[in-house]
């Protein structure tokens, strides 16, 4: 049973709007790149990777590959789940643990507002999920539980003032019971814009101090948040 310290709330949404397509095709199995080895290792913890959609989609509005997330046809998104990644001791994390089948349309639709890309779902299940669960339904159920438990700070307010890595980590910690700044890592692009927030979890799925081998930006590094819109529409509830 998943035990978490993050303050749980009913489907705390991070989509501005989400309109899951009424018809979804199954997702073809992701193929392991020849450059990435199959690596089976004991799981020692997890990383919950949260992608900031306004920045991800900034130059992808017309991308066919990222159409469902970035075109606006299926909604406008804030944080989405990039993935729940099992970790091991040291930098060599488990990956591509076994072959996969196509993901069924019902599973895709159930998780679409959390991860609005069938390609991403197939990839995350094949590369990471197979190393922590026997069935994709189990992997995405745990992922959804963890994602729904996260309380997000007011990104609109934060985006409108000078901000540092340390201040944003503190904001996430303040919004979530049991989460401390040293349990949060940020990914920022070369231009200083926020790409991703990563939360470090122990084997029991409780927040824990991020491992020493995980790259950490210094607290005084400036970070900017691209809103993508002039103002934030009301956050709507993501269907469970």
Residue 63 lies in a domain: yes
pLDDT band at 13 (very low <50, low <70, confident <90, very high): very low
Q: Say what the pLDDT of residue 18 is.
A: 85
- Domain containing 196: what range? 15-201
Q: What is the C-alpha to C-alpha distance for residues 149 and 178, in angstroms, rounded to an integer?
A: 12
Q: What is the C-alpha to C-alpha distance for residues 108 and 26, in angstroms, rounded to an integer?
A: 7
Residue 226 lies in a domain: no
pLDDT score of 19 more than 90: no
- Residue 7: closest CA among 181, 176, 146, 154: 176
Q: Say what the pLDDT of residue 6 is.
A: 53
User: For position 179, which CATH number holds?
Assistant: 3.90.730.10
What is the percent of the chain with per-residue pLDDT over 90, rounded to a whole number?
72
CA distance to 45, 119, 221, 228, per residue, from 192 (Å): 29, 27, 9, 15
Domain count, the chain: 1
Q: Give start and end residues of each alpha helix (H) in 76-192.
A: 105-111, 118-127, 136-149, 155-159, 165-175
Report the range of poorest mean pLDDT among 62-71, 92-101, 138-147: 62-71
Residue 144 lies in a domain: yes
Tally Cβ neighbours within 10 Å of residue 45. 20
Residue 218 lies in a domain: no
pLDDT band at 31 (very low <50, low <70, confident <90, very high): very high
Question: Mean of the per-residue pLDDT values for the chain?
Answer: 88
Q: Say what the pLDDT of residue 229 is.
A: 57
DSSP state of 192: S
**In the predicted model, what is the mean pLDDT of residues 179-198?**
97
Q: What is the C-alpha to C-alpha distance for residues 225 and 220, in angstroms, rounded to an integer?
A: 16
Say what the pTM is: 0.88
**In the predicted model, what is the mean pLDDT of residues 31-48?**
97
Residue 225 lies in a domain: no
CA distance to 64, 91, 96, 211, per residue, from 35 (Å): 25, 17, 12, 25
Q: What is the side-by-side strand order in the sheet with 194-201?
A: 79-87, 45-52, 194-201, 184-188
- Report yes or no: 27 and 78 within 8 Å, Cβ to Cβ: no
Report the range of poorest mean pLDDT among 37-46, 72-81, 146-155, 201-210: 72-81
Residue 234 lies in a domain: no
**Category of 11 on φ-ψ map: left (φ > 0), alpha (ψ -120 to 50) or beta:** left
Report the range of poorest mean pLDDT among 2-6, 13-17, 52-56, 140-144: 2-6
């Amino acid at each position: 049973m998943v035990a978490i310290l993050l303050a749980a709330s009913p489907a705390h949404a991070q989509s501005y709007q989400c309109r899951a397509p009424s018809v979804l095709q199954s997702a073809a199995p992701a193929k392991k790149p020849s450059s990435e080895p199959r690596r089976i290792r004991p799981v020692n913890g997890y990383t919950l990777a949260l992608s900031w959609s306004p920045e991800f989609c900034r130059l992808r509005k017309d991308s066919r590959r990222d159409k469902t997330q970035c075109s606006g046809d299926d909604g406008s998104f804030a944080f989405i789940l990039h993935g729940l990644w099992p970790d091991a001791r040291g930098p060599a994390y488990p990956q591509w643990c076994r072959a996969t089948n196509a993901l069924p349309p019902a599973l895709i639709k159930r998780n679409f507002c959390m991860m609005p890309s069938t390609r991403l779902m197939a990839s995350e299940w094949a590369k990471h999920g197979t190393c922590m669960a026997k069935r994709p339904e189990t992997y995405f159920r745990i992922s959804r539980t963890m994602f729904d438990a996260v309380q997000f700070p007011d990104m609109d307010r934060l985006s409108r003032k000078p901000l540092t890595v340390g201040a944003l980590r503190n904001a996430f910690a303040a919004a979530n019971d049991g989460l401390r700044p040293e349990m949060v890592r940020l990914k920022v692009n070369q231009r200083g814009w926020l790409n991703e927030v990563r939360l470090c979890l122990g084997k029991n799925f409780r927040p824990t101090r991020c491992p020493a081998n995980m790259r950490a930006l210094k607290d005084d590094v400036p970070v900017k948040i691209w809103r993508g819109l002039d103002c934030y529409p009301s956050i709507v509830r993501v269907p469970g």
